[in-house]
Structure 1
Amino acid sequence: MHQLPIFLNLSGRAAVLVGEGEAADAKARLIERAGGRIVRAWEPGATIAFVALADEDAARAAAEALRAKGLLVNVVDRPALCDFTTPAIVDRAPVTIAIGTGGASAGLAKAVRQRIEALLPARLGDLAAALFKARDAMKARWPDPASRRRAIDAALAPGAPLDPLAPDAAGQVEDWLAAPETAARPARLETIRLTSADPDDLTLRAARLLGQADHIFHAPGVPPAILARARADAVRHPADAPPPAPPPGLVLWVTL
């Protein structure tokens, strides 16, 4: 990962915008969509800035002056001068998907965004809002965080009641919560044998399992880049062999 992706709350906050023209207008629309307040020069409370100047020397000078004030700066079309870059965005508020290339190719980011746009239903944001509204009910039904996570994962699986790609998933949350409890999912141990240290060589099955696993037992020498493909909250266990008594949920044994 070449950059740290974050989502910044700009609501009501100042964002500096230096420049005029189409590029500046595009950044202005981005700031306004995020609820930010555009200012044309530094003021107390501003934390980020956008510079859209055609002259490179002027752009560099503006960026350095703003950076000296403690701001993170984006300079349009000059990745080397940027503290951060702006991604291509799929907006299904409150669901937001950002596709970045570290400034390498805005066209590629746009092409990927268009593919994702075609996949996701317009009401995906409604599903997120419904799940947020149901948080207390989910905690009451599954007090244990691990059990709750497994229940939600199962409900969001392809073809399941809350499949995110189903157009009516948002309307199914209450019925899902009211449905009788299904049998607890037993421990399931799967093995992934790597063919290389390159995460791009992972099979579709291996990538899917890494994204779903609750626990990952991995042999010495399994590259961090492979383990980085797993969900962030999956528990990692360095080990010399698969577990004789796997913990509940989906458990992976990853070996070279």
Structure 2
Amino acid sequence: MTLHSLPLFVRLAGRTVILLGDGDAADAKRRLLERAGARVVGEEAEAAIAIVAIEAEDAALAAVARLKARGILVNAVDRPEHCDFTTPAIIDRAPVLVAIGTGGVSAGLAAALRQRLEAVLPAGLGMLAERLHAARPALRRRYPDGGERRRALGAAMATGAPLDPLSDDADVDGWLAADQRREAGHVRILLTSTDPDDLTLRQARSLANADRVLHHPGVPAAILDRARADALRQPWRDGLAAQDGLTVELEMA
């Protein structure tokens, strides 16, 4: 399945962003931009991105056209069909940011999901990120290969594992000092349902950590989408050579 957008985190501190419009929508965007450290400017200024929060349809579309003609990426508030980018609902567990987007289709849904996730994500999640950052030299020494390092971290952050991000007692140093089980090799999953919500925790974890996903005919895109976004996806066929890392083979029962 094709992504309708590629989520990106853009550092705006000290950079100019054009904001056009008045009223509640424009004020909300201004607060968001200023919180990110951006310099909010008018239409004639030089900038790479712009937000158009003009209520009047004709005036808004005219402004969007002028800005796009200058090569500027535009967010047109409440007009998703004219947006080059959208602004998500945000959960802040600095330095961890969780962004929830609907491609501009339903800001209300994104806000509702944010509220649910706020109650789930612990306040100490940012501290875990900082500890992992501090441990990067030790991680690289322990796992020089990037794929092996990613798989080790993936296993450690699984539900109930030593670095489970939803727990409040993750001990990064203790985990590094101990032996860790790392998923590798070839895992075959026989699916009994086309609904991704019916995957077991172990199956979902294997897909999330897979370097390569081999899929037999009939495996739906919704199941394949549960794999890492950058995992290699290949139709299964006889004679495929084994590869390093974790390969997950999917077949319908």
Structure 1 position 17, deviation (Å): 0.6
- Asked if 1:144 corresponds to 2:141, the answer is no
The one-letter amino acid paired with 1:3 is S
The one-letter amino acid paired with 2:84 is D
- Asked if 1:157 corresponds to 2:153, the answer is no
Determine if contact 2:211/2:247 at 8 Å carries over to the other structure: yes
Provide the rounded CA distance (Å) in 2 between the counterparts of 1:235 and 1:78: 35
Determine if contact 2:215/2:250 at 8 Å carries over to the other structure: yes
Please give the secondary structure, in 2, of the residue aligned with 1:147. Answer: helix
TM-score normalised by structure 2 residue count? 0.86
Q: 1:91 to 1:192 in 2, by over 3 A?
A: farther
Q: 1:132 to 1:13 in 2, by over 3 A?
A: same
Aligned to 1:216: 213
Structure 1 position 121, deviation (Å): 0.6
- Asked if 1:238 corresponds to 2:235, the answer is yes
Aligned to 2:63: 62
Relative to structure 2, which stretch is displaced further, 87-96 or 180-189? 180-189
Q: 2:199 aligns with which of 196, 204, 208?
A: 204
Structure 1 position 249, deviation (Å): 5.8
Determine if contact 1:187/1:250 at 8 Å carries over to the other structure: yes
Determine if contact 1:219/1:239 at 8 Å carries over to the other structure: yes
- Asked if 1:254 corresponds to 2:225, the answer is no
Determine if contact 1:86/1:100 at 8 Å carries over to the other structure: yes
The one-letter amino acid paired with 1:157 is A
The one-letter amino acid paired with 1:193 is L
Determine if contact 2:155/2:183 at 8 Å carries over to the other structure: no
Provide the rounded CA distance (Å) in 2 between the counterparts of 1:250 and 1:242: 17
Aligned to 2:32: 30
Q: 1:182 to 1:19 in 2, by over 3 A?
A: closer
The equivalences for 1:1-256 within 5 A come to 1-44=3-46, 46-169=47-170, 172-177=171-176, 179-182=177-180, 187=185, 189-193=187-191, 195-196=193-194, 200-201=195-196, 203-205=198-200, 206-220=203-217, 222=219, 226-240=223-237, 250-256=246-252
Determine if contact 1:222/1:255 at 8 Å carries over to the other structure: yes
Structure 1 unmatched ranges of 5 or more: none
Structure 1 position 90, deviation (Å): 1.2
The one-letter amino acid paired with 1:181 is D
Determine if contact 1:156/1:163 at 8 Å carries over to the other structure: yes
Instruction: After superposition, give the CA deviation of every residue in 1:48-99 in whole Å (9 maximum; x if it has no partner).
Output: 1111112111111111111111111112222222222211111112211111
TM-score normalised by structure 1 residue count? 0.85
Structure 1 position 20, deviation (Å): 1.8
Provide the rounded CA distance (Å) in 2 between the counterparts of 1:190 and 1:74: 44
CA-atom RMSD in angstroms: 2.6
Determine if contact 2:152/2:180 at 8 Å carries over to the other structure: no
Q: 1:36 to 1:242 in 2, by over 3 A?
A: farther
Provide the rounded CA distance (Å) in 1 between the counterparts of 2:68 and 2:180: 55
